[in-house]
Amino acid sequence: MAATRPANTRQHAMPAGHGEVPAASVAAGSVLVRACRREVVPHTPVWLMRQAGRYMPEYRAIRARQTMLEAIGDPATAAEITLQPVKALGVDAAIIFSDILPPLIGMGLDLDFVAGAGPRIANPVRASRDVDMLGTPPAEQTMRGTLGAIRLVREALPASTPLIGFAGAPFTLACYAIEGGSSQRYDLAKSFMYAEPAAWGRLMRRLVTVLADYLVAQARAGADLLQVFDSWAGALSPHDYARYVQPHNAALYRAVHAAGVPVINFSTGTGAYIDDVAACGGDVVGIDWRTPLDSVRARLGDRYSIMGNLDPIALLAPWRELKAQIDDVLMRAGSRPGHIFNLGHGILPSTPVDNVRRLVDYVHEATAPGYCP
């Protein structure tokens, strides 16, 4: 999908509509939203990152007919995919089918998803002048497909099932924008960060503007809670996170507070400085599988709910091993309110659907009052 870099359209501070708090969430009384508020709930809620994905045959059937960007941009298709795991698995939430990268298209980057290779950006940010060419148009102009899908899904879901909207975090999107795709070392992005600190700051502020506006727009469209994915934050040292990322993440979470819904702060590889990550904001801290939940509970106390954190690979294991690992996560989460069961990252394409269904059923059963193993 070709794109030219648009002129800047607004200031880089607050999202469009900032201060407009949406109407009360349809699913405000759901088990998941109550767990986000650290309330006592009848069972531990479960949802799974990439719960609508390639491991499901019905998803593969749809995707065989459309490219990734076509599926994301078509509200009816995105809504249908979003609802598939809710119907098939009994999870406690739907998460809108999309990707973290399409907001970059509206900023002027030429993004495509290449079969077998993943996302590719044809005109990556490599110089200070490239940053200044990036636009910050509102999500209502650039993300109509996803916002339309949110409206369709919210109408289709029962009030007891919340809908999750999401966006990437500034650092993770900056890395994609600079690297031009996925990376193992992030050498281009981190070199730009070190060599061009002023341009780095401008890039991050533009991303905060776009992402905050997008997240608030999703809540206005009907999302009952929001998640921010900082999937690549673990590439940073604690010093670099505090200097180059934390102030911008904090600005994002302050702006998204206008959405008036719970916000999940998710990152990977950040166990060494999870306190700094949590301090950026959000109601829930998502934990990857590398850091035990009990150690996070001890460090963060009762200031946040926690989410996680089964290793996605465990879903490929036989039930005796999978059950043992689920039990370990539940034990480490403890009996205090405010735990949401999830994976430490997304479901893998080779995951058996029956294992996912069994996981959801078992977590509900094992955390209900009166359960006797």
Which of the residues 59, 176, 241, 244 is marked catalytic? Answer: 176
pTM for the structure as a whole:
0.93
Which of the residues 34, 38, 50, 206 is marked catalytic? Answer: 50
Asked if the model's pLDDT at residue 88 lies above 80, the reply is yes
Q: What is the pLDDT of residues 243-276, one digit of tens each?
A: 999 999 999 999 999 999 999 999 999 999 999 9
Which of the residues 37, 63, 151, 254 is marked catalytic? Answer: 63
Asked if the model's pLDDT at residue 14 lies above 80, the reply is no
Q: What is the pLDDT of residues 326-348, one digit of tens each?
A: 999 999 999 999 999 999 999 99
Sign of CA dihedral 84, 85, 90, 91: negative
Active site residue 99: yes
Asked if the model's pLDDT at residue 15 lies above 70, the reply is no
Q: What is the pLDDT of residues 210-245, one digit of tens each?
A: 999 999 999 999 999 999 999 999 999 999 999 999
- Best CA proximity match to 199, nearest among 168, 182, 178, 218: 178
Give me the CATH code for the 31-35+53-304 domain, please. Answer: 3.20.20.210
**pLDDT for 2:** 39
Which of the residues 5, 10, 37, 54 is marked catalytic? Answer: 54
**pLDDT for 25:** 76
**pLDDT for 24:** 59
**pLDDT for 5:** 45
Active site residue 54: yes
Active site residue 50: yes
**Structure-token match 């899908």, residue found:** 149
Query: Which ranges of 265-318 would DSSP assign to H, the alpha helix?
Result: 274-279, 293-300
DSSP E strands, 131-185: 163-168
Q: What is the mean pLDDT of the chain?
A: 93
Q: How confident is the model at residue 116 (pLDDT cuts 50, 70, 90)?
A: confident
**pLDDT for 117:** 85
Tokens of 261: 């819904």
Q: Domain segments of the chain: what residues?
A: 31-35+53-304
